Every structure is written in structure tokens, then in C-alpha cells.
Amino acid sequence: MPRAPTRPTAWLPSAAAGLAVAALAGLPFLTLAPNRLVPGSPVGCGLAGAATGALAVAAALLLAGPARPWRPWIALAAALAAWCVLLLGAGQGAAGLLAGKPPAARAALGSGAWLALVALAGLAAEAARVALPRRGGLVAALLLFGLAALLAGAGCLDSLSLAVEYRARAGAVAAAIVQHLGLAGASLLIALVLSVPLALLRLRDGPASRLVDGLIGGIQVVPALALFAALVAGLSGLLTLVPTLRSLGLAAIGPVPAVIGTAAYLALPLVSGLAAGLAAVDPDVLVAARANGLTPREVLWRVRLPLGAPVLMGALRVAAVQSVGLATLGGLVGAGGLGALIFEGMAQFAQDLILLGALPVIGLALAVDAGLALLASLTEAA
């Protein structure tokens, strides 16, 4: 039999719709500025905002009504329609504002539009969760991203300043995404390799366990800027003492300190999660395994790891998402990636350039988390 839709969280649809309506009514929908570096003048939303708010309220009412199998699907359609109407209204509004203006003029999404987009995303996610309890969030994210990409590909958003900035730096953004994934992946891999023996040491009571706790706990209290600066200074001194290391590709500035620093911060969630997962097995199960003649290595691979897999996957999800976020700091030490775009935008006081780096970081983090969550669910089902 098909799974019946779950009930929505009582307050969430109303709160999301209310936030969208309040943001569109009380905050700027667009801003118009003479160039990319100057704050813009606020512009209201007009009919597009009214239509978006009406669709958001309709979606919330559908979710708040009596439980019917069709209600969450109609609510999801209404939330997605509101998302499209808002983006189309923003694109057309920006085109109208820029008509007759100099090429340097910029029309950007205002705070009201950004808040409304976030609220509509939450509303769509809640409707999808009610309709599809196991995959709702992922389905909603794919639909929202797909609709935005479709509208952008059709040229409906070309007049918005973020699209203008992207067209000017499309190659740089693509290269930065690849660099960012490389930094995050390398950091996560190194952290995993180092965390496994540390987690095994932590399972043992005594000085070794306390040493591991002190080591990974001490790293966490060091501010990121201080840690990266110390790594740059330390690597510089090491390369001065051993110049032959330069032939191996090591450098004091660039990906090496970024990867080492990020991996160091990933140690805490990985070591804690690995140790908790390995220790989660019932002691009676371990006694039975040893009684059947399993060696300690066989107990680890055939008992501890399979039974502790849910906890281990949870720790991996946390570390993977953190690696995507922390890799942004690589821009501080010349490692490139999306962090370089963010810090360049901050140096120029260019909001759109900051968003051009920050939005892909958010998207990558959500994609990594959703992918690992899907993998975990498939693993549990198997």
C-alpha cells in the first residue's frame, strides 16, 4: 500500500508564508544603484509580490487543512509557482529599472526578495516532506534549483546584477568550484586517514585516550586565522630548512596550508563520531563474537563497523559539510576556490561578487549533505 502523507509541522507553513508576505510588503524587493560598488535605492515589489504572497498563503492553508493525500502536492505546486513568480517579477522588474540607464547601473535583489525566497524554499520543503516523507527535502531542493536554472537559462534573470556579475566571471566561477571541491575533498580524505587510528586509540581508557581528546580539543579552540597563519609560518620555516621539499610541490602559500588547516578542524567530528560508532555495539555482542573465535581485527571489520555504520555515516556527513564550508578559508592563504571570490568581493565592497562565491558554497554543502543522507538511507535499506 502507498505510504500515507505525514502531517506538517503545525507552525512552519504559516510562519514561512507570513515571513514571505512580511518581507515583500515591508522590505525592498529590488535595489537600483549607479554601479556595482554603491548601495542601491530600494524599490517595491508591485504585482509580482502580491501574487507571490497570495500563492504562499494558499500553500500554507492547504497544508494546515484536513489531511488529504492531494493537499501537500497542490501546496508544493503553489509554493513552486510562488518561487517562479517571484523570480520572474524580479527579472522583469530589473529590466524595467535599467531601461535607459548607463551600462554600469545595477539592479539587484533586495533583502525582501532574499527573505521571501528563503521562506518559499522552506514552504516547498515542508510540503514535499509531507507528500514524500523519505525524500521530500531532496525533491524540493532539486525542483527549486531546477526552476531557477531554467529561468536563468531562458534569459529571464539576465538583468539582475548577480547574473551580470556571473556572465563577466563565468570561467573563474567554474574554476573556483573545481578548486573548492578539490580542497574540501583532499582535506576530508586526510582527516579520515588520520582519524581512524585516533578513534581506535580513543576507545582505550588511559593516557592515550586523554592525549587524543586533548589534541583534537586543543585544535578546536585555536581561531581559524591564527591556525592558518601559524601553518604558513611553520611551512615557510620548514621549507627554509629543507629546500628539497619544494620539489615535491610543497609551498607555504597555497593549497598545502589550506588542506592541512581544514583537515585539522575536521578531526573532532570524525574522531568523536568514529569512536562513538565503534563503541555503540552491545557488549554482549562483542563477547559472543570473541567466543566464536573472532580476532580483534575481525571483530572490528565484521561487528563494530557494520553495527556502528549509522553513527559513522552521521559523523561523515557532518565532516563533509564542514569541509565544504571551511575550505572557503583557503582564500586567505592563496589556495583559490570560492573563498577567493568571497574575499575579493569583500575587499571591493562588491555584494554581488561576495554572493557569487557564497551561494555555490551553500549549494555544494547542501548537495553533499543530501547525497550522503541518500547514501545512508540506501545502505540501511540494503
Do residue 148 and residue 196 come from a single domain? no
Residues 37 and 178 in one domain: no
Same domain, 124 and 176: no
Identify the burial level of 307 via C-beta atoms within 10 angstroms of its C-beta, where 0-12 means exposed, 13-18 middle and 19 or more buried: middle
Please check whether residue 156 lies inside any domain of the structure.
yes
Question: Is the Cβ–Cβ distance between 231 and 281 less than 8 Å?
Answer: no
Judgement on whether residues 189 and 148 belong to the same structural domain of the protein: no
Burial of 370 (0-12, 13-18, 19+ CB in 10 A): middle
Mean per-residue pLDDT pooled into runs of 10, the chain (382 residues): 54 91 94 86 90 94 83 93 95 92 91 95 92 82 91 92 90 94 94 88 76 81 86 86 80 88 90 82 78 78 79 89 92 89 88 90 90 78 60
CA 286 to chain centre: 38
Amino acid 9: pLDDT? 62
Total domains in the chain come to: 2
DSSP assignment string, 217-266: HHHHTS-HHHHHHHHHHHHHHHHHH-GGGGGGT--SSSHHHHHHHHHHHH
Same domain, 221 and 346: yes
CATH code of the domain in which 236 resides: 1.10.3720.10
CA distances from 162 to 20, 132, 261, 355 (A): 21, 33, 31, 8
Residues 152, 123, single domain; the answer is yes
Same domain as 296, residue 214: yes
Q: What is the three-class DSSP state of 32?
A: strand
Q: Which residues contact 139 (CB under 8 A, 6 or more apart)?
A: 128, 132
**Domain annotation covers residue 55:** yes
The helix (H) or strand (E) run that includes residue 33 is strand 30-33
Does residue 6 fall inside a structural domain?
Answer: no
Overall size of the chain counted in residues: 382
The cell numbers describing 239, all together, are 621549507
- In this structure, what C-alpha cell is assigned to residue 311? 553513527
Residue after which a domain boundary falls, among 163, 194, 229: 163
Compute the Cα dihedral for 212, 216, 217, 218 and give only its sign.
positive
Neighbours of 12 (CB within 10 A): 16
**Is residue 291 domain-resident?**
yes
Q: Which of 163, 193, 223 is the last residue of a domain?
A: 163
DSSP state of 3: P
User: CB pairs under 8 A, 24+ apart, for 150-153?
Assistant: 151/84, 151/87, 151/88, 151/91
217 and 94 together in one domain: no
Report if residue 178 sits inside a domain. Answer: yes
- The span from the CA of 305 to the CA of 316, in Å, is 14
Give one word for 244, left, alpha or beta, with left for phi > 0 and alpha for psi -120 to 50.
alpha
Write out the residue range of the structural domain in which residue 64 sits: 12-163
Do 48 and 192 fall within a single domain?
A: no
pLDDT for the residue numbered 5: 53
Give a yes or no: residue 214 inside a domain: yes
Amino acid (1-letter code) at residue 45: C
Q: Is residue 2 part of a domain?
A: no
Name the maximum alpha-carbon separation found in the chain.
84
Contact 333, 197 (CB under 8 A): no
Contact 117, 86 (CB under 8 A): yes
Q: Phi then psi for 33, rounded to 5 degrees?
A: -130, 150
5 found inside a domain: no
Indicate whether 39 and 150 sit together in one domain. yes
Choose one of 100, 134, 163: the last residue of a domain.
163
Rounded to two decimals, the pTM is 0.85
* Shared domain check, 175 and 138: no
Amino acid identity of residue 7, one-letter, is R
Q: Answer yes or no: do 176 and 119 share one domain.
A: no
The answer to whether 275 and 202 have CB atoms below 8 angstroms apart is yes
